[in-house]
Amino acid sequence: MTEAAGTEPVVLYLITSQISSIFLRGQLAYLQEHGFHVELGANLDNEDGVGSFDDGVVLHHLRYVREPSPINDLVALVATVRLIRSIRPGIVNASTPKAGLIGSIAAWLCRVPKRIYVVRGLRYETAGGARRAIFRATEKLAMRVSTDVIFNSRSLRKVAEDDGLIARGRGSVLGNGGNGLDTTRFENLPTRHEARATHGFLDDDYVIGFVGRLTKDKGIADLLAAYDLLLDRRHDARLLIVGSFERGDPVGEEAMERIDNDSHILHVEWMSNPGSAYKAMDVLCFPSYREGLPNVPIEAQYCGVPVVAYAVTGTVDAVLEGNGHFVPAGDAGALADCLVALAGHRPTERDGSLVDDEIAKAFDQRIVWERLRSAMT
């Protein structure tokens, strides 16, 4: 294994963009504390000003783009190969679809001894036609050229196995998946009353919340449809949406205009820590059509908020029994029915059925990091 200054094993992380730093929060610092020299390559043109990396990590700018772009992707592959040959890591950890593909191929071309591909989601699940075939083929290729494949959740691994992307038993899941839950981010949160006052809600409002990227895949159209059905039956219902619109997989002009202008909807572009938003909610509505292992439902449960979600890959691993309700994907009416039913059972400041210790134990960050460190040695 290549070492920095003759002592530290060198690991190169590759992710598509800076916003994906949220998937690695604390993990890179942990590895540095345990003797690794960590460098990271990503597209650092941070137009949204979102995301930051752990201190001490050496950063490299690579022009990855999220959507397919053959010429740009070839240029990025050449740049990634050059970077690997320059720093000579013994380990490459690549994730997010584009960096996962390019990084895994580049590491294979450079014969890096340990090539880890972290599968954070499968884009082809919600794609159609040629795009589906391309996304599926690129995922299979990235897994094939990697020495280790780590899935964000068990349901995600099962889909990959069932679809023939990887042999059964070859992929792994660290702990209960993802990067675990950083409970320190949710210490000293405001009370429910304080959080509602901050966001402009009344104590008696029935607040439905959503946190995440505002894209089609995240089910934003379904969220709005379910909210309309709820509003017909609960005139005190309000909708809190935290997240930014994205150019890739856009939600459409009509939905964007409504989210930004409807007096019943509060849209917050971005929150580095959505803890106060969770505290203002009665229910988290999470109608995403595909996930790897979503952090948002986990964080909401830790903050005492029940979850209503689609029963899809990744999300089914994130909600503990008794802390939420699943409905079939695409059924906005069923979402609305659950939201109506939960209106009679709003969470208190600390609902006994939503025990934070249970969530913290199930998604213990240290377990994930320790198993990752073991996989790297």
The model's pLDDT over 136-165, given as tens digits with 9 standing for 90+, comes to 999 999 999 999 999 999 999 999 999 999
Instruction: Give the burial string for 321-358 (b: 16+ CB within 10 Å, else e).
Output: eebbbbbebebbebbbbbbbebbeeebeeeeeebbeee
Alpha carbons 335 and 331: distance in angstroms, whole number:
7
Per-residue pLDDT at 79 exceeds 90: yes
Q: Given this model, what pLDDT does residue 354 score?
A: 47
**pTM beyond 0.75:** yes
Binning pLDDT at 50, 70 and 90, where does residue 272 land? Answer: confident
How many C-beta atoms surround the C-beta of residue 231 within 10 A? 17
Q: pLDDT tens, 180-192?
A: 999 999 999 999 9
User: What is the arithmetic mean of pLDDT over 337-360?
Assistant: 74
Find the mean pLDDT for residues 348-374: 81
Task: Using pLDDT thresholds of 50, 70 and 90, give the confidence band for residue 4.
Answer: low
Could you give the CA distance from residue 376 to residue 355 in angstroms, rounded to a whole number? 33
CA quadruple 40, 46, 50, 53: dihedral, nearest 10: 20
Query: According to the CATH classification, is domain 183-362 in 3.40.50.720?
Result: no
Per-residue confidence band for 346, with pLDDT thresholds at 50, 70 and 90: low
Question: Which part of the chain has CATH 3.40.50.2000?
Answer: 3-173, 183-362
pLDDT confidence band for 282 (50 / 70 / 90): very high
- Domain 3-173 bears CATH identifier 3.40.50.2000: yes
pLDDT above 90 covers a percentage of the chain that reads: 86
pLDDT tens by residue, 120-140: 999 999 999 999 999 999 999
Helix (H) and strand (E) counts in the chain: 14, 14
Angle, CA 326 vertex, CA 349 and CA 151 arms, to 5°: 100
